[in-house]
Amino acid sequence: MGAAYTVLGTKVPAHWISIATIGAAVGGAVIPSYLPKSTESTPVKAPEPIKVEKSEELDVEKLLKYVSIENFLFGF
């Protein structure tokens, strides 16, 4: 006889557990296709684009100081 697992105090053969697992996987994949689908579709509004001012120049030294490892480790 094969291995048996104890589930809620009852010995359950391994093949029953494997059959239940396969059944749950197949059922989870097939059953939603038989459920009624919603006929109302709500339109999704696109988010507003982020506005960035182009007048500000990139300060590379500030950026390097901000992302440097010393700033990360010691908080300079």
CA 65-69-70 angle, 5° bins: 75
Domain boundaries, the chain: 4-36+49-74
- List, for residues 15-25, the tens digit of each pLDDT value: 999 999 999 99
Q: How far is CA 42 from the centre of its chain?
A: 23
- List, for residues 14-56, the tens digit of each pLDDT value: 999 999 999 999 999 999 888 888 777 777 788 887 776 666 6
Q: Give bridge partners of residue 52 from the DSSP assignment.
A: none
pTM higher than 0.75: no
| Res 71: pLDDT | 64
User: Cα dist. 45→42, 48, 51 in Å?
Assistant: 9, 9, 18
